[in-house]
A and B are shown apart, each in its own frame.
Chain A
Amino acid sequence: MKRVLSLLVENHQGVLSRIAGLFSGRGYNLESITAGVTTDPQITRITLVCQGDDSVFAQIKKQLQKLIDVIKVTDLTEARALHRELALLKIKARSTDRGEIFQVADVFRARVLDVGLDCMVMEVTGASEKIDDFAAVLAPYGILEIARSGLISVERGKKQ
């Protein structure tokens, strides 16, 4: 099962490597990891998506909590949380296909960032599944490149 964890960590060099190393060293499955500084420049928020059954996931949480540089671990899998991912897609688009592609982009609320003679670049944000769907719909035209940010999440409501 796919799980989402939000971590607050010390903004120290090597923290990402400690976390990534924990996953690789212990054979846990890490799907995506994103990091960015919070309003407190000494604290970084990391959102990570991982896979595992209940007992593995319990271990992952405890192992992360055990890292000295990890201040807080929050499980957002079942929480009232907002999850977003951003993707940039470069699509093969002959002039004859453009109209159709624009329509698809409109449905997914994607933005066109660049149009060339035979390709275009689009930006789309949303839940990871939406991006999967968007990519699937565009696949027949030919996706030349895709870059995905990995998931970022925040809980709803006031509680930090």
Chain B
Amino acid sequence: MKITGSELLVKALIAEGVQHLFGFPGGVVIPIFDTLYSAPQIKVVLTRHEQGAVHAADGYARSTGRTGVCLVTSGPGATNTVTGIATANFDSVPIVCFTGQVSRDMIGNDAFQEADIVGITRPITKHNYLVLERADLGRIIKEAFTLAASGRPGPVLVDLPVDVVRELGDPEYPESVSIRGYNPVYRGHAGQIRKAAQALRKARRPLFYAGGGIHIAGAVETFRKIVQKTGVPVVSSLMGIGSLPGDHPLDLGMLGMHGTYQSNMAVTHCDLLFAVGTRFDDRATGDLSKFAPEATIVHVDIDPVSISRNVAVEIPIVGDALQVLEQLEPLLEPPSIDGWLRTIQEWRREHPLTVSNQGSSLLTPEKIIQAICKLYPQAIVCTEVGQNQMWTALFYTFRHSRSLLTSGGLGTMGYGFPAAIGAQMGNPGRTVIDIAGDGSIQMNIQELATAVHNGLPVIVAILNNGYLGMVRQWQQLFYKRRYSSSCLMTGADCPPQCPGPGETCPVYTPDFVKLAEAYGAVGMRVRRPEEIEPALTEAGKSRNRPVFIDFIVERELNVFPMVAPGAGISEMIFSEEGRK
């Protein structure tokens, strides 16, 4: 019996085990939403903006490891997904995004709500499709799910003309597809792996560089086993955080622009850098000519493109992090590196991470994040982008895989809150916390309605300093404290050149407590360090309502350590005065 395209789509979603679909309807996708209306297996989460839908699907996918699914309409619905898709693409997140399209005979005619979304998203998807024949629909959906989750995962977009969706046709959804141009390599080359093992045995100053690929591949257990067996210390990229528990003696923390002193020094002085599942992003490497200058570099990655792109690699291994590490493990022996470990200990002591205004009555982000970590050590933590993100990376001790959700590559403000909504959907029993800035939380604040309507007890900790803090930090350090457009309190009466924050600054808007309450969420405000833990404890008691905590923090605090843009990663600044 023939079925409509939309019936086949819903059948396919059920076959793929999709339980949550994040979306927003519109003209050309009404038929699909109509079919979904009688599919109780799939919970449709109606966000308040299509960008929120994609970030929610992304947070769902990153936290669960399953593919996130979105459905939006044509034209503006589709173009609103662009930032979400680019975010997922950069961080290798499996998403299938279905967009409505005008009917085939209208395509190209500038029809109402028409946009060439396949053309627009070509460079920011792993692959995308415009379905031009009803007969191809089943195969294309299967290919989309296959591509999204396999190899180096990523978003796949499927554009569905409304007449294809309505057309009757083949009811079959294929169980598998083969794509002849797509053959990701999972198993590492045995000879290369032997070479890597030998290099690690011989090294005197070896270092693991853990990337997000370790989480994506589900390789955390194996990686920890290898670290335990070899005793080799570990630095992480932002995405690799949690590969080793943050309080493990061999975990040196994050490397890069806001990396720890011991991490950046270890990278600079190691003789073997063993990188797994990372892209050698410029925020991690700094000046390439000063990056790991003494090291032989081993690089394991499933994406050949990532290898030897920024940094020349002596021992490349193309493959899946889990498989390669499993192949490698039996070949490893602990190298003798006591001297190296002692040097690292000295670096640790030399410049430990410091909490600004420790012991004083001033409220600072570091104190808040440490309290969150103390009270909710098992939480899924989302961040927005900027200072909040870097403070979280440095001051929350991550112990579990897939527990830090952050936009690493694209650096998308407004990612964290909708991602938290998706993560809470996929992990109903867990505490989900978004650590936000007062700037970035406003970029997708409309999703408060989504969280309230779905009864999600997401906690949003707003580090409210009234600034776009990271921009302000750069302006303070590198632009002579000229706070051009970075102050979120700027009003009509402010002088053209701000003398700095003070008593005369305009009242901050919005009032996040009232705003939360207006949406039916819980709002709290915290001004003093002793109020942090009671507020967080109270927030944790909410069972079905989101909680916004407006932490009024010191206005001009900076994230340290810091490497100035363009400098080598060992050239670190530890205070405002440290800036030459």
List residues of A whose CB falls within 8 A of some B CB.
9-10, 13-14, 17-18, 21-22, 25, 55, 58-59, 62-63, 65-71
Which residues of B (146-187) have their CB < 8 Å from a CB of A? 147, 179-182
Judge whether B180 and A71 touch: CB under 8 Å: yes
Complex Cα gap A55–B119 (Å): 28
> A10 near B181 (CB under 8 angstroms)?
yes
- Which residue from A13, A18, A58, A68 sits with its C-beta under 8 Å from B130? A13
A66 contacts which of B118, B180, B303 (Cβ < 8 Å)? B303
| Minimal Cβ-Cβ distance residue in B for A9 | B181
- Is B543 part of the contact surface with A, judged by Cβ < 8 Å? no
What are 30 sample pairs from A and B whose C-beta atoms fall under 8 A apart?
A9-B181, A10-B180, A13-B130, A13-B132, A14-B118, A14-B119, A14-B122, A14-B130, A17-B122, A18-B122, A21-B123, A22-B123, A55-B308, A58-B308, A59-B305, A59-B309, A62-B305, A63-B305, A65-B304, A67-B181, A68-B126, A68-B127, A68-B147, A68-B179, A68-B181, A68-B182, A69-B127, A69-B181, A71-B180, A71-B181
Within 8 Å CB of A10, what residues of B? Answer: 180-181
Nearest CB on A from B372, distance (A): 39
The interface residues of chain B lying within 8 Å CB-to-CB of A71 are: 180-181
Q: Would you give the shortest CB distance from A33 to chain B, in whole angstroms? A: 16
Give the chain B neighbours of A66 by CB distance below 8 A. 303-305
Q: Give complex CA distance A32, B389 in Å.
A: 44
A55 to chain B minimum Cβ distance, whole angstroms, is: 7
Q: Are A25's CB and B123's CB within 8 A? A: yes
State which of B126, B132, B181, B308 has its C-beta within 8 Å of the C-beta of A70: B181
B179: chain A residues within 8 A (beta carbon): 68
Contact partners of A17 in chain B: CB under 8 A:
119, 122
Inter-chain pairs besides A9-B181, A63-B305, 11 sampled, C-beta below 8 Å: A10-B180, A14-B122, A17-B122, A21-B123, A22-B123, A58-B308, A62-B305, A65-B304, A67-B181, A68-B126, A68-B147
**Per-residue CB proximity of B239-281 to A under 8 Å, as 1/0?**
0000000000000000000000000000000000000000000
B305-332 Cβ-contact flags toward A at 8 Å (1 or 0): 1001100000000000000000000000
Contacts of A22 in B (CB 8 A): 123
**Least CB separation from B118: chain A residue:** A14
C-alpha spacing A91/B404, complex, angstroms: 67
Residues on B with beta carbons closer than 8 Å to the beta carbon of A18: 122
B109-127 contacts to A (CB < 8 Å): 118-119, 122-123, 126-127
Q: Taking the nearest CB of chain B, how far is it from the CB of A12, in angstroms?
A: 9
Chain B residues positioned under 8 Å from A14 (CB to CB): 118-119, 122, 130
State A25–B119 Cα separation when bound (angstroms).
Answer: 13
For the complex of A and B, list the 4 residue pairs with the smallest distance between their C-beta atoms, beginning with the closest.
A68-B127, A71-B181, A62-B305, A25-B123
- B147 contact set on A, CB distance < 8 A: 68
Max chain A C-beta neighbours (<10 A), residue from B126, B180, B181, B308: B181
Closest to A55 in B: B308
Proximity string of chain B (553-577) to chain A, C-beta cutoff 8 Å, 1 when within and 0 when not: 0000000000000000000000000
Cα–Cα, bound, A143→B180 (Å) = 46
Most chain B C-beta atoms within 10 Å of own C-beta, residue among A22, A62, A66: A66
Q: Are A62 and B180 in contact (CB under 8 A)?
A: no
Interface string of B285-306 (1 = CB under 8 A from A): 0000000000000000001110
Considering only CB atoms, which chain B residue lies closest to A63 in the complex?
A: B305
Report the nearest B residue to A14, measured CB to CB. B118
Chain A residue with the shortest CB-CB distance to B305: A62
Q: How far is the CA of A9 from the CA of B182 in the complex (A)?
A: 12
A5 to B179, CA, bound (A): 22
Contacts of B132 in A (CB 8 A): 13
For B309, list chain A residues within 8 Å (CB): 59
A73 to chain B, nearest CB (A): 10
Q: Measured between alpha carbons, how far is A70 from B179 in the docked complex, in Å?
A: 10
- Nearest to B125 among chain A residues (CB) is A68
B304 and A62 contacting across the interface, CB-CB below 8 Å: yes
CA distance A116 to B405 in the complex (A): 71
Rounded to whole angstroms, the CA-CA distance of A57 and B180 in the bound complex is 24
User: In the docked arrangement, what's the CA distance between A59 and B309, Å?
Assistant: 7
A71–B181 Cα distance when bound, in Å, is 4
**A70–B183 CA distance with the chains assembled, in angstroms:** 11
Which residues of A have CB within 8 Å of B182?
68
Distance of A109 Cα from B305 Cα, bound (Å) = 44
A21 contacts across to B, CB distance below 8 A: 122-123
Could you say which residues of chain A place their CB within 8 Å of the CB of B126? 68
Nearest CB on B from A15, distance (A):
10
Give the docked Cα–Cα distance between A23 and B100 (Å): 29
Smallest Cβ distance from A42 to chain B, in angstroms? Answer: 10
Chain A, Cβ-Cβ closest to B119:
A17
Instruction: Return the chain A residue nearest B147 by Cβ.
Output: A68
- A9 contacts which chain B residues (CB < 8 A)? 181
Q: How far apart sit A14 and B179, CA to CA, in the bound complex (Å)?
A: 17
Cα distance A67–B182 in the bound complex, in angstroms: 8
Q: Report the bound CA distance from A13 to B401 in whole Å.
A: 40
Tell me how far the C-beta of B311 lies from the nearest C-beta in chain A, rounded to whole angstroms: 11
Q: Which residue of A lies closest to B127 (CB)?
A: A68
Which residue in chain B gives the minimum CB-CB distance to A68? B127
Docked CA distance A68–B184 (Å): 11
Least CB distance, B312 to chain A, in whole angstroms: 8
How many angstroms between the C-alpha atoms of A108 and B147 in the bound complex?
51
Q: Considering only CB atoms, which chain B residue lies closest to A8 in the complex?
A: B181
Considering the chains assembled together, what is the distance between the CA atoms of A10 and B304 in angstroms? 21
- State A62–B127 Cα separation when bound (angstroms): 16
How near does chain A come to B353, taking the closest CB pair, in angstroms? 37
A67 contacts which chain B residues (CB < 8 A)? 181
Which residues of the partner chain B approach A25 to less than 8 Å between Cβ atoms? Answer: 123
Report chain B residues within 8 Å CB of A65: 304
A25 to B304 Cα, complex, angstroms: 19
Q: Which residues of A contact B127 (CB under 8 A)?
A: 68-69
- Identity of the chain A residue whose Cβ is nearest the Cβ of B184 in the assembled complex: A66
Docked complex Cα distance between A14 and B182 (Å): 17
Residues of A within 8 A of B130 (CB): 13-14
Min C-beta distance of A36 to chain B, whole Å: 18
Chain B proximity of A41: nearest CB distance (Å): 15
Contact partners of B180 in chain A: CB under 8 A:
10, 71
CA gap between A35 and B130 in the complex, in Å: 21
- Residues from chain A with a CB closer than 8 A to the CB of B123 are 21-22, 25
